Amino acid sequence: MSRRPIQPTIRTHANKAAPEEGLGSDTVREALSYWASGVAILAVSDGDEIDAITVSAFSAVSLDPPLVLVCVNEQSSILPMLLEESRFTVNVLTEDMQRTGSAVAQRLPSSLAGFRTEGDPVLEGSLVSFVCRLWEAYPGGDHRIVVGEVERVELGPDAQPLLYFRRMYRGMR
């Protein structure tokens, strides 16, 4: 089987950097771009205001108890509110919600339309929404590993997911 060409910024094992040299974050970011993921919106409400960011670092953790995790940048303004409120939602985007993903990531004012304003900030039209209580938050370098206990799941439309691969939004086909 022929291998695809490797980007010049990625070192192969044969060409591995000496440990003391360390790995540049550009190299790691480039390598991680080969991991295909879904796209979700992490949202928090303090009862008055909703804050939200787009996330791809979302994963299942445990079924019993039901735990999921999201990795949130330590610099992200959503983090203090999330830790204060101890509740959040993770809303998985459908293929046709790419504009929502971009708008939330860019923090456009329009991006917060579409969230339920009563109770937990569920994003209407999501493929599925996980309503979580903060279980624990662990240090993870420049990100915080936020683990949530899933209290409720809301299923949305029967639609295809939005995907993210090689720094581009994509569909399943």
Measured from the CB atom, is 78 or 147 closer to ligand FMN?
A: 78
Position 55 contacts ligand FMN (CB under 6 A): yes
Q: Which residue from 39, 127, 131, 146 is in contact with ligand FMN, where contact means CB under 6 A? A: 39
Among 11, 38, 61, 73, binds ligand FMN (CB under 6 A): 73
Find the residue with minimal CB distance to ligand FMN. 57
User: If binding is defined by CB under 6 A, does position 83 make contact with ligand FMN?
Assistant: no
Compose the 98-127 pattern: x for residues touching ligand FMN by CB under 6 A, - for all others: -------x-x--------------------
Contact residue for ligand FMN among 53, 103, 131, 132 (CB under 6 A):
53
CB atoms within 10 A of CB 82: 25
**Side-by-side strand order, sheet with 168-170:** 37-38, 163-165, 168-170
* Alpha helices per DSSP H over the chain: 25-32, 78-85, 98-105
Residue/partner pairs of 44-51 with CB below 8 Å, 24 or more apart: 44/78, 44/81, 44/82, 44/85, 44/87, 44/88, 44/89, 44/121, 45/85, 45/87, 45/115, 45/117, 45/120, 45/121, 46/81, 46/84, 46/85, 50/112, 50/115, 50/117, 50/121, 51/77, 51/78, 51/81
Q: Given the complex with ligand FMN, which of 9 and 77 has the nearer CB atom? A: 77
Identify any residues that bridge with 88 across adjacent strands, giving them in sequence order: 132
Q: Which residue, 136 or 142, has its beta carbon nearer to ligand FMN? A: 142
Which residue lies nearer to ligand FMN by CB, 88 or 164? 164
Smallest gap, in angstroms, from Cβ of residue 43 to ligand FMN? Answer: 11
Where do contacts with ligand FMN occur on this chain (CB under 6 A)?
Answer: 39, 53-57, 71-73, 75-78, 105, 107, 164
